[in-house]
Structure 1
C-alpha cells in the first residue's frame, strides 16, 4: 500500500503542520496517487484493492500518453488522441490531534466531469474541466486512521472541445488544513480605488468563515513590500458570524507601480486573532496600477499610453500535454517576452492559477476568458450540456479566484458565441450577455468586460445588449478603421487576430504571392502541399485571417485599437488548419509546438522591442539556378545590405508601412550575409551558409542547473549539423537519447504538426534540423548527462546539474 502521511510533525528537521507560526497549511497533495483507465463498480470504495494500479504524481494527463489516430472520437480537431474514463485514488493518514480542524481538498482543474469520494462518501461533481473547486473533508475523515480519496474523471463523450483538452487531474491539488475560524476560500478582495504618485488607498474586503460562532476577534491587516518590510498596518476589533465581509482601508505612501516592465508586487496580509491566538493568516498579492481604455486613444497604463501586444494561448504545453508544469509555462512566457509580447489571452477558458501568478511576476496583461460557448453548442458533447446548471457557479468561482491578480485587466465572458446572431424573438445573446456581465460585476467592478466577436456588424446581439465595456473584434483587421462608424463611442480591443499559417523551415515561392487556405472557412482544403506544410514566408493564412505583417500594420497605425492578441503564440495540439489527418496540431503559432521560433518571431521582435534585430530567411540549400526570395527583418537601423558570396546584391530600406525588405536572387551555393546599418555604421551582421552532409549533433540546454524537486525541467535542443557547424535545414535523422543521473526524459518533440511519434519516448526524428528533449529532475541532487546519438553522426552530450 502506498500512502502519504500528513498532519504530523516530520522529523529530521521537518515541519510541524500545526506549528503556531503559520496556522494556515496548504500542503502539496500531488504525490503518490494510484491511477487506472476504465470504470468499474466499487472503485470509489475505501476497501477496494488498487495495488495493481499505476502509481504516479500529479498533475497528470493520460491522453498525451496515447497514440495518434484519426479514428479517436476527439477527432483530428481535438488532437487525434484518446479520451476515455480514468480513476485516481490516494490514501493518507490524519492524526487524532487534527480533530477539530477544518480540512479540505483543492483541485485547480480536472478535465472533465470529475466526481470525488472521501472514505466512500460522495462529495460532488464538477463538469467544467477548467474550473478550480474545493471540497471540505472534515466530517468524513478517520482521525488517527487511514483515509482514501477517489476521483473519477470522465472524458469519454467526445468531441467536447474544438482543440486538444487532455484528460485527468491535470492541475495542482492541495490539502488545506485550517482552524475552524479562517478566511474563506478566495475570501480576500483587494482593490486600489485611489492611486497617485504620492499615495494609494488600499481597500480590503475579507470574508471570514466562523460558522454560527458570533464572537469578537481582532483583525490585523498589514501591507508588506517586495522585501517583506511592513509599510502599513490596521488593527480592529470585528464581530464574526455575521456572514458579511469585513472592510479595511490602508494608505501606502509613494507607491511603486506594477507595470509590464517592472511588475512590482506588494503583499496584503490578513491576520485573525481570538484571545491573542493567531487563528489564520492569509496573504493576498497586490500590484498597484491604474489603467483605462479610451475609444480613440486606446489603452493607458499608469497614465502612459501603450499598446497591449498580446497573443492567444491554449492550455496545452506541447509534448507535455495538458498537465501543468510551472517551468514549462515559464519558458513559454520567457520566449514570448523576448519578442516583445506583453499580453496573454487565456483562450478560451480559465487558466491554471499558477499561470496567472507567473503573469503577475513577469509582467503580462491578461484577458481572462471564461467560455467558448453558451447555450448553443459548437461540439456535440461540449459545455452547452452543462450550461443551464453550472455556468453561474463556474463564472463566480473564476472571478473569485482570479480577481486579485494584477495581471488580469479584462474579463472575457465568451468567444465567437453562436448567440451573436438571431433576430426577432431570438435575441437570447442580449439576455445572456447582460446576465453574465451582472455576475462578474457583482464580484468585481474594477475591470472591463468583453467578448471575442467574429460577427463585427452592428447587428451583433452581444454588443446590442449594451452591457459590454469593451468591444472585442476577432479578425476583421480591415474593419478596424471603420469601428467608430459601426459602434459610435465604443472602445475596441482586437481580441483575436491574424490566423496566419506557417511550418517552421518550409518556404513556398514566391514570397509575395498569397496562399489563402482553405478558400472558405466551411470548405475543405482542395489544394495544398504534398508534405502538409505551410509557407514560413508569412504568405499563407486563413480566409478569415491575414498575414502577420498586414495585421501589424493595421494595428500599429490605429491608436483606437487598444490591443491585439495574435492567434497564436505557440502551436498547440488539435485544430490542424488548413489540413486534416495526418496533421494533428496547429500551424498558427509564432513558435512551433516544441517552442522553436518560426521566422515571424523576428518580425515581432523587430516591431515590438527596442533591441537591434537582423534576421534573414530562408535557409541557403536550394537547387542551382533556382530563383529564391530572401527576406530580412531588421530594426534599429536605416537599411540592410545583402551579399551573396561576397558580392553585394544591393541595399534595401523599408518603405512606407513595410516591415521587411526582400531580394529576389538566383541561387548559388555558398554564403549569404546581411548587414544592417544606421547612419552608415554597422549595427548587426547575419550569415547563413549552404550546409553540407550531416556530420554531427549538438545539444543546447536552456538551463544547465535545475532544482532537484521532481518537477523542474531543462529543455534541450538538438541540432543536426554539417562538419563546419551549419544547421542542416531538412535533416530528419532519428535521434536516440540516453540519460544518466537522477532525472528522466519527460517528453520528446520536434515541432512537426504531422509527426505521429510518441511524445513519451527516448528517441525522436529531427524535423527540419531540430529536435527537443525535455529533462525532468528527480528529487536528489545529482550530475545528469544527456547523450544524443544518430547513425552515421558524431554524438553529443550535455551536462545538467540538479541542485537541492
Structure 2
C-alpha cells in the first residue's frame, strides 16, 4: 500500500473538550497520595494512607532518588533507581453520576500499571508509554470513591535510556450521559473537493446507543465563525463540505472546531467538541514530500521523552518552550523516539505547527534488553498500537506511524517480513490515511531480508552506514519513499571546544569491499596541536565531532537529493541515560536545560531565512596572546566579515558546499564581531567579548507571569556575569536558589553531561556560565520571590506574579 496523496483532519480529545450540560472533562491530577515501594492491600477503599506523601500528577518518582552506581542493571537509565510506586486518590461522586458513563484516562504509567476503582481491578498494562482508558461507571458509588494505581518498574534493565517511573503523564475523568459519543470514537477523513474545497467524511461511534438517535455537526473557524453544518445518516456517518479551508502547516497551524451533537427523541444528550485541522500531503518517489501542494523537506529532530531535571514528568509549559526553541532554529518536524508520545505533546505540535512522526516501539519480538517489551510483544502489540492510533489518528501534525526502531528482526528473512507486514496491515486497518514506516539501521540487511520492502516509507537510521546508501537504494528501488529517520549523532557539549576531529563508527583507511558501513566523512583537524586538551572528556562544539558524517554533510545529502523526504537529526535535545556513568548524552542541539549550543545556530543557518550570523568559540581564553584560534561563522547570508577590536580580518563568501566560514585568528583579548551581508547590505551581526572575573549572578525568566493552576512552570536562567554585564563562559560557581511565596522548586540543572549534583535541591553549580531553576505554580495566586546567591558574587533576584486560573 503506497501513500502518494493523503488528506487528514485532527481531532483533539480530552482537555480540548469543553465542559457543558451533557459532558464534562475533568482534570484528575491533584490530591494523590504516594508510597515508594509495595503496599499490601493498598487498593482497598478503607486502606490508611495518611502517612503517604501528597503528590500532584505528573509524577516521576525515579528522578528524585539517589543514583545507584553499584547496580549495573540501571546503567542505561544513568543509574537512577526505579522500583515500585503505589498511588491513591479519593474523589467524590455525585448521585447523578451513577446513571452516567464515566471514563478514566491515564496517558502514561511506567510501567506494568495496574488500576483499581474501589478495590476492583481494571487490569494491568505492561507497556509504560501507552495511554489507557476504562469506563468505570459500574464500580462507582455515591459519595467517597478511591482510585489506586500500582506502577512496577522494578524489572531491570527494560530500556536503553532513562524511562522514569510512576504516573508521569496527566489523568482525566470524562463524564457523559449513558448514551454518548464513544471515547476516541470520532474518525474523520478528508478528500479534495473542487479547486479549493475539501469534504470531511465523519464517522461517529456511539456508546450505549438507543432507537431514535440523530447526530448533528457544525464546524467553527478559529475565530468562532460557523463555516459548515451537516446532519448524519442513520449509520452515524456524514460528509461535511468546507469551502476554501485554511490549511494547517508549520507556518499557519490553523485549527477548526467540530461540534458533534447527539440527540435522542429530539433532545441533546451529548455535545462533543473537537479541535481539528485540514492539510494535504503527498509523497513522491522522485520529488519527495509536498504539503498543501508545496514541496518541502522535513527538517526534523529525534526527541526522547524526558525533560531534564523533571525526568519523564510531562509539563506542558516545559515542552512548549522546547518546541518553540526548536522552531526558532528552523525545525519543522519531530520523531518521538522511540515510543508513543504524550497526548499533550501532540496537541502542542498541532497548535504550534510541528510535523510529527509518531513511533510506537523501540524493539519488537526480539529483545534489546533483558526485561524490555519483547516479553509482552505478542500479547499486547495490537492493543498498544490501537490505543496510539485511536488517540492521535486525526491530529494534523502526525504524518506517519512508525512501528519500531532498529528492530532486531530486520535481518531475519524468515520471520522479519511476515511480522512487519502484519504490523503495517494493522496500521492500515486502524488508519488508512497515513503510511507506516520504521527506522532501519544496517539498511543493507533489511533490504536483503525483505523487511524494508514491506514498509510504505523507509526510514534510514545511520547505524551500519545507512546514511551512505540513499542514492544506491534509490537506483535499486526506484519507487521507494526514503527519508533519514535518524541521521548521525550531533556530539557537542555546550561551551566546550576541541580542534582535533573525532569521527566515530568509521575507518579512515577502511577496505570497504562494496559496503559503506565503515565509510566516514573526514573534517581535517583544525590545528596541528590540540588547543583545549583539558576538554578531553567532553564533546567538541565545532562540527568536527560526529558519527560517520557531520551535520553539514548530512544536510547536504538531504538537501541535494530531490527524492529525499527529509531527515531527523539525533537529537534535538540532550536526554538522560544511554550514557554510561554520565547523567545524560550530549547529542542535542539544545542541552538538557534547553540552552542553545553552537550546532543549534548551525541548523538555524541551514533551515531559516531570517538573517542571522553566529560565531564560535567564545572569546574568553587563557591562551598566550597570538595563539591562533579557528573562528567559525554560521550564517544564512551571502557574506560575513570578521572584526577583532575594530580591525577587519576579512570578508568571506558563504560556500553552499562548506556551510561555514573560518578565520585563523591570533588571540588577543577584546571584542570579536561578525557582520553578515546580503546583496552587499549588512543584515545581521553578533559579538563575542572577553569577560572579566565573575562578579554577579543575573536572573532572567522565560515569562514574568504564571497561572495559579498547580502545573504552570517558569524557567529561571542564572547567568554568571562580570562587572560589565558580559557572560563568563567558563564560570563554574556554585549557585544557591531560594523561592518564597506561592511557587515551589521543581528542579535544578546546568546541562553538564557529567553532572554529579541531584536535580532536586537548592544548589547547582554553573556550567560554562549558566545554570537553571524550574519553579512550579501552586493553586494559590500571588507573588513568587526568587533569589540566587554564590560566594563572592553579587546575588540576583526577581519576582514572578502568579494569577488566578481561569478554570
TM-score with structure 2 setting the length: 0.91
Q: Distance in 1 between the 2:126 and 2:445 partners?
A: 35
The aligned counterpart of 1:452 is 439
The aligned counterpart of 1:428 is 415
The aligned counterpart of 1:168 is 166
**Which aligned pairs between 1:269-280 and structure 2 lie closer than 5 A?**
269-280=259-270
1:36-63 superposed Cα distances (whole Å, 9 cap, x missing partner):
0111321222221110000111110001
Do the aligned partners of 2:496 and 2:535 also contact (CA within 8 Å) in 1?
no
Q: Distance in 1 between the 2:489 and 2:671 partners?
A: 34
Do the aligned partners of 1:458 and 1:486 also contact (CA within 8 Å) in 2?
no
Aligned counterpart in structure 1 of residue 373 of structure 2, from 352, 376, 383: 383
SS in 2 for 1:393: helix
SS in 1 for 2:199: strand
Deviation (angstroms), 1:516 = 2.9
Do the aligned partners of 1:786 and 1:797 also contact (CA within 8 Å) in 2?
yes
Q: Distance in 2 between the 1:174 and 1:448 partners?
A: 30
SS in 1 for 2:454: coil
Q: Distance in 2 between the 1:671 and 1:723 partners?
A: 16
**Which aligned pairs between 1:302-321 and structure 2 lie closer than 5 A?**
302-321=292-311
Change (3 A) 1:754 1:69: farther
SS in 2 for 1:723: coil
Change (3 A) 1:485 1:662: same
Structure 2: stretches of 5+ with no match in the other structure: 1-17, 509-516, 519-532
Do the aligned partners of 1:505 and 1:598 also contact (CA within 8 Å) in 2?
yes
What is the total number of aligned residue pairs between the two structures? 760
Q: Distance in 2 between the 1:254 and 1:644 partners?
A: 55
The aligned counterpart of 1:419 is 409
1:528-549 superposed Cα distances (whole Å, 9 cap, x missing partner):
976621111111113xx42111
Deviation (angstroms), 1:777 = 1.4
2:637 is the alignment partner of 1:648: no
The aligned counterpart of 2:114 is 115
Do the aligned partners of 2:262 and 2:269 also contact (CA within 8 Å) in 1?
yes
The aligned counterpart of 2:334 is 344
Q: Distance in 2 between the 1:34 and 1:73 partners?
A: 31
1:375-409 superposed Cα distances (whole Å, 9 cap, x missing partner):
00001100000001100111111111110101011
Aligned counterpart in structure 2 of residue 181 of structure 1, from 173, 176, 179: 179
The aligned counterpart of 1:776 is 776
**Which aligned pairs between 1:9-88 and structure 2 lie closer than 5 A?**
21-72=20-71, 74-88=73-87
Do the aligned partners of 1:195 and 1:290 also contact (CA within 8 Å) in 2?
no
Do the aligned partners of 1:706 and 1:803 also contact (CA within 8 Å) in 2?
yes
Do the aligned partners of 2:719 and 2:770 also contact (CA within 8 Å) in 1?
yes
Do the aligned partners of 1:197 and 1:255 also contact (CA within 8 Å) in 2?
no
2:542 is the alignment partner of 1:537: yes
SS in 2 for 1:63: coil
1:729-756 superposed Cα distances (whole Å, 9 cap, x missing partner):
1111010112222111211110011112
Q: Distance in 2 between the 1:342 and 1:606 partners?
A: 14
Q: Which shows bigger deviation, 356-365 or 95-104?
A: 95-104
Deviation (angstroms), 1:517 = 7.2
Change (3 A) 1:676 1:189: same
Deviation (angstroms), 1:21 = 4.4
The aligned counterpart of 2:504 is 516
Do the aligned partners of 1:111 and 1:168 also contact (CA within 8 Å) in 2?
yes
Change (3 A) 1:377 1:20: closer
Change (3 A) 1:109 1:289: same
1:635-684 superposed Cα distances (whole Å, 9 cap, x missing partner):
23x21121222222222222341110011122222221212223333222
**Which aligned pairs between 1:121-520 and structure 2 lie closer than 5 A?**
121-143=120-142, 145-195=143-193, 197-210=195-208, 214-236=210-232, 238=234, 246-423=236-413, 427-457=414-444, 459-460=446-447, 463-464=450-451, 466-475=453-462, 476-510=466-500, 513-516=501-504
Do the aligned partners of 1:76 and 1:584 also contact (CA within 8 Å) in 2?
no
Do the aligned partners of 2:299 and 2:567 also contact (CA within 8 Å) in 1?
yes
Deviation (angstroms), 1:77 = 2.0
Do the aligned partners of 2:703 and 2:714 also contact (CA within 8 Å) in 1?
yes
Do the aligned partners of 2:74 and 2:81 also contact (CA within 8 Å) in 1?
no
Q: Distance in 2 between the 1:326 and 1:442 partners?
A: 32
Deviation (angstroms), 1:73 = 5.0
Q: Distance in 2 between the 1:414 and 1:666 partners?
A: 50
SS in 2 for 1:786: strand
Q: CA RMSD in A?
A: 2.0
Do the aligned partners of 2:98 and 2:141 also contact (CA within 8 Å) in 1?
no
Q: Distance in 1 between the 2:724 and 2:750 partners?
A: 23
Deviation (angstroms), 1:728 = 1.1
2:574 is the alignment partner of 1:571: yes
SS in 2 for 1:328: helix
TM-score with structure 1 setting the length: 0.92
Q: Which shows bigger deviation, 160-169 or 451-460?
A: 451-460
Deviation (angstroms), 1:481 = 2.4
SS in 1 for 2:166: coil
SS in 1 for 2:444: coil
Change (3 A) 1:411 1:20: closer
Change (3 A) 1:774 1:531: farther
Do the aligned partners of 2:640 and 2:654 also contact (CA within 8 Å) in 1?
no
Q: Distance in 1 between the 2:383 and 2:372 partners?
A: 17
Q: Distance in 1 between the 2:534 and 2:474 partners?
A: 41
Deviation (angstroms), 1:20 = 9.8
1:127-166 superposed Cα distances (whole Å, 9 cap, x missing partner):
01011111222112122x3211111100000110111100
Q: Distance in 1 between the 2:85 and 2:488 partners?
A: 38
Deviation (angstroms), 1:434 = 0.9
Change (3 A) 1:704 1:418: same
Do the aligned partners of 2:410 and 2:445 also contact (CA within 8 Å) in 1?
no
Do the aligned partners of 2:108 and 2:170 also contact (CA within 8 Å) in 1?
yes
Deviation (angstroms), 1:783 = 2.3
Q: Which shows bigger deviation, 499-508 or 225-234?
A: 225-234
1:89-143 superposed Cα distances (whole Å, 9 cap, x missing partner):
1111212232211122111110000011111111100001011111222112122
1:589-645 superposed Cα distances (whole Å, 9 cap, x missing partner):
000000001001111111111111111110112211432110001123x21121222
Q: Which has the higher contact order (CA 8 A, sep 6+)?
A: 2
The aligned counterpart of 1:525 is none
